[in-house]
Amino acid sequence: MEDLLKKLNVLVKATLNDALTGDSRRNKLVSPSGTKPSAIQEGNQQIAQLRQRIKETLAFEDELQKQIQSLQAEVADWDDQADTAVKDGDDAKAHYAVEQMQRAQERLTMVQSDFAAHERVTQELIYHVNTLEAAVEAATPKQNDSDTTAGADEKVSGVLRDMRVKVLELRDQIAARDEIAPEPTEARPEPVEDDLAKRRQRLAKPE
């Protein structure tokens, strides 16, 4: 689970970095005519690269979602075991089951929080890549018209700039999240004895 989170974090950061390298890459490249590639050409190149990155990220997110579902099932299983032990009057087994349930719940809460953060970043990036792709598609047919080529290229350049401004914000959000350690008391579980007391009270009631 932690390995998946680390891999997803690295992949998301790499994807954002790819989205920011277009300007420097464009300045280094030249077309066969010896001129720099147009914004439309550079946009097409970046769309292809980012689409592949996003595809990989979504695959990781699918795998992580499966792990979240597995943890949810584990929490539910320990919860049922705790109830069964309380009904049987086995305090030691009930105590152990509640402890295990709470540990699994803590892991689940952490993973869900990280997953949600990465999912938001990915969805934001997908939106901006879609916007860039639409701008490139709208501008491409105009390249045959010399009077509108410059305007079309400038429009795509503007979309690229807007996307990179947003990507910088997303990268800063991830960096800030990595730097701030979560407070251990934020999701502190209920004392085991309090949990058991509530279970005994609930299970003592007639069906």
Cα separation, 116 vs 112, in Å, equals 6
pLDDT band at 102 (very low <50, low <70, confident <90, very high): very high
Task: Summarize pLDDT for 163-180 with one digit per residue, the tens.
Answer: 888 888 888 877 777 666
For the chain, the C-alpha Rg in angstroms (whole number) is 26
Q: Are 157 and 135 in contact (CB under 8 A)?
A: no
Residue type, 141: P
The tokens describing 112, both together, are 């869900």
On the CB side of 92, CA atoms within 13 Å amount to: 0
Q: CB neighbours of 7 closer than 8 A, spacing ≥ 6?
A: 60
Which of 28-37, 130-139, 157-166 has the least mean pLDDT?
A: 28-37
Task: Specify the higher pLDDT residue, 206 or 140.
Answer: 140
In this predicted model, what pLDDT tens digit does every residue of 24-52 receive, in sequence order?
454 454 445 545 567 888 888 888 888 98
- Token output for 65: 């979602």
Alpha helices, DSSP H, located in the chain: 2-20, 22-28, 39-88, 91-139, 146-179, 192-204
Q: Full-prediction pTM beyond 0.85?
A: no
Tokens 């792990």 belong to which residue?
A: 67
Whether residue 6 is predicted with pLDDT greater than 90 in this model: the reply is no
pLDDT in tens, 64-101: 899 899 999 999 999 999 999 999 999 999 999 999 99
pLDDT over 90 at 195, yes or no: yes
| Half-sphere exposure of residue 129: CA atoms within 13 angstroms, side-chain side | 23
At residue 187, the pLDDT reads 55
Domain boundaries, the chain: 2-204
**Residue 6 corresponds to which amino acid?**
K
